Chains A and B, each alone.
Chain A
Amino acid sequence: MAAKAIEVNNLTFSYPDTDEPVLKDINFSINHGEILGIIGPTGAGKSTLAMCVNGLVPQVINGEMEGTVKVNGSKVSESSVAKMSEEVGFVFQEPENQLSQMTIEEEIAFGMGNLGVPRDEMLGRITHALDQVGLTGFEKRSPLALSGGQQQRLAIAAVLAMRPSIMIMDEPTSMLDPKGKNEVYDVLKNLKDYGMTGIIIDHEVERIAAYCDKVLVLHEGEVQMFAPSDEVFTNIRQLHELTLNAPQVTEFLASYNQTFGKDVKLSTTLEESVNNFESACK
């Protein structure tokens, strides 16, 4: 059987000088072409987990790690961070920390330069990546002279241009306008069509429900749920216990059923919820 895209076994991790591990015995795997959503309250360990997948934790950000993380079948601990960055693209939670160059063009070229992408190829990729995030025409502008959301778009473009086979995005849409949020998820979906794999962390669950194949719910360093996204988001009671929420349509159907003693089938997407509710009304 072909190797999984990502396979995490018995992963436990502690930052230095902390009593309790921030990740506790994590197990999950995803196949090539799948998109995984990770949700969980602030401090649950989502970013730490994501950085274990590209080796930044514990190779650059130190701490004590047990268990194994494998990407495309090989152990991350046996590969360097530089080598990993060829396979795994990472969009950081705070885009500004990722930006370092004088112009937007150079910003996007920077990551590709580290991968040894030839000059001509770079130019084409820059144009394409800027187009994907709606920043065409901004090539010569300084990254500092951008709005917050534009900076976040730039950080995404820089990683897209590196064309990794696995894409990890840590709250990539937190500052984007609604249209921009949709576009980022669409980009992930398109990558999926090329057999690429994605992990996306987000606090807004509606797009996670609509776009992700599977969802992992992290809470105080432990996996509380790991299942197809429908299954996770229709389990409203457990989500609420974990201080999380389901998409508004799911919350509505559940609340409707409860208030009026009905049993309309729960759904996690807009279209299906409309259909379920309308057909129950007839």
Chain B
Amino acid sequence: MEPYISVKNVSHKYPNGVTAIKDINLDIHEGEVVAILGSNGSGKTTLVKHFNGLLKPTKGEITVGTMNTKKERISKLSSQVGYVFQNPNHQTFLPSVRQELAYGCKNLKMAEEDIETRVQKAIDLFQLKERLDDNPFDLNSSQRKEVAMASIMAVSPKVIVLDEPTTGQDHKGCKRVLELVRMFKREGHIVVLITHDMHLIGELNCRTVVMNQSEKIADDHASVVFSDKGIMEEAGLQPPQITQFANQITSFDETKTYLTVESIIEWMKANKEEDVKVGTGS
């Protein structure tokens, strides 16, 4: 199968001379959820800003669907690629949450009725009912990010790029982001997700690309990446706390990488905990 997004030998040098990504190759297929991890300044945001044409490669090429991002206009690209900025101050907003939520759909000339159902679905998931008349400018950055995510959800473009969606979110907000990504996945979208939130990756257990010092140093399943000590160390990453815990428990299956609390409990239930001789209480 042809990849939907194809990144070929792409480098990007900012005008001040900083080379932020170097010779990146990456193919993303329809329906894939891909997480991008890596330390601060490793080039994650720079890379994904290429997907909707906000940045153009200074070397190499990117194709999205049939479009070459160098030649295509941002407006055309962004009908296919929705992008939630890392910094919501960089995202432009209309003067009310209500207008903002409908904007993308209107732009694509969807039918009024259709827009209404789409917007309502987003309002429900993000519990925005009471904020519809607020000016996004008056919201704090995590709330503004939620509005941005809700707007993208209403449009539901083919590709959805979320740059650090759980930053500043409370526990409930993080669960909502997880739900959103799972919903996009069920509906067959491509989701590209940048995050420093290892719990989120543990829950998603998805394909994981690791960036380090402008280069791609790993591209594999989260459980494989998280058990690769060399890569984790090089990129300054840490697996979720529960994975670190499980790695130290002698009675657990050494060949498995446990990424969530629930998965361990389920595994113990399935293996009847007496058999694995854990917990006689104290």
Bits for B253-282, please: 1 = Cβ < 8 Å to A, else 0.
000000001101100110001000111111
Interface size on B, residues (CB 8 A): 52
**What are the residues of chain B within 8 A of A153 when measuring CB–CB?**
40
Say if the beta carbon of B241 comes within 8 Å of chain A. yes
B244 engages A42 (CB within 8 Å): no
Q: Assess whether B41 is in contact with A41, with CB atoms less than 8 Å apart.
A: no
B242→A252 contact, CB < 8 A:
yes
Q: Is A277 an interface residue (CB 8 A)?
A: yes
Write the chain A residue with the least CB distance to B236.
Answer: A179
**Chain B at the A interface: SS class:** loop
A18: Cβ under 8 A from any B Cβ: no
From A42, A146, A149, A245, contact of B143 by CB (8 A) = A42
How many Å lie between the Cα of A153 and that of B141 in the bound state?
18
A264 interface residue per 8 A CB criterion? yes
Q: Is residue A178 contacting chain B, with contact meaning CB distance below 8 A?
A: yes
Q: What are 26 A-B interface contacts by the 8 Å CB criterion?
A: A41-B170, A41-B172, A42-B168, A42-B170, A93-B168, A134-B40, A145-B16, A148-B86, A149-B41, A149-B196, A174-B167, A174-B168, A176-B40, A178-B196, A178-B238, A244-B170, A247-B241, A248-B245, A248-B261, A252-B261, A262-B279, A274-B245, A277-B279, A278-B248, A280-B278, A282-B280
Question: Is B45 in the interface zone, CB < 8 Å from A?
Answer: yes
User: Contact residue range for chain A?
Assistant: 35 or more
Residues of A at the B interface (CB closer than 8 Å) are 40-42, 93-94, 96, 134, 141-142, 145-150, 153, 171, 174-181, 203, 206, 243-245, 247-249, 251-252, 255-256, 259-260, 262-265, 270, 273-274, 277-282
Q: Which residues of B contact A280 (CB under 8 A)?
A: 278-282
Are the CB atoms of B16 and A270 closer together than 8 Å?
no
Q: Are B264 and A264 in contact (CB under 8 A)?
A: no
Q: Which residue of A lies closest to B44 (CB)?
A: A147
> What 10 additional pairs, Cβ within 8 angstroms, besides A175-B167, A179-B236, A270-B241?
A41-B170, A145-B18, A149-B41, A176-B196, A177-B38, A244-B170, A249-B242, A260-B279, A270-B244, A280-B278
Q: Which listed residue, B38, B141, B169, B198, touches A203 by the CB 8 Å rule?
A: B169
In the bound complex, how far is the Cα of B279 from the Cα of A263, in angstroms?
8
CB <8 Å contact, B282 and A249: no
How long is the Cα–Cα vector from A90 to B191 in the complex, in angstroms?
36
A91 CB, nearest partner CB in chain B, Å: 14
Given contacts A145-B18, A280-B281, contact A203 B170 (CB under 8 A): yes
The listed residue with most B CB atoms (<10 A of its CB), out of A41, A149, A247, is A149
Residues of B contacting A262 in the complex (Cβ-Cβ under 8 angstroms) = 279-281
A184, chain B: closest CB distance, angstroms: 12
B41 touches A150 (CB 8 A): yes
- Taking a contact as CB atoms under 8 Å apart, the answer to whether B265 and A42 are in contact is no
Q: In the complex, A279→B248 CA distance in Å? A: 13
- Interface flags for B33-75 (1: CB within 8 Å of A; 0: not) read 0000011110001000000000000000000000000000000
B237 CB within 8 Å of chain A = yes
Q: Hey, which chain A residues are within 8 Å of B279, CB to CB? A: 256, 260, 262, 264, 277, 280-281
Q: Which residues of B contact A42 (CB under 8 A)?
A: 142-143, 168-170, 172-173
Beta-carbon contact of A149 and B278 below 8 Å = no
Alpha-carbon distance between A174 and B220 when the two chains are bound, in angstroms = 25
B249 contacts partner chain A, Cβ-Cβ < 8 Å: yes
Q: Are B250 and A278 touching (Cβ within 8 A)? A: yes
A274-B171 CB under 8 A given contacts A259-B269, A281-B280: no
CA distance A171 to B167 in the complex (A): 10
B240 part of interface (Cβ distance < 8 Å): yes
Nearest first, the 5 closest Cβ-Cβ pairs linking A and B are A149-B40, A179-B236, A248-B242, A178-B238, A177-B39
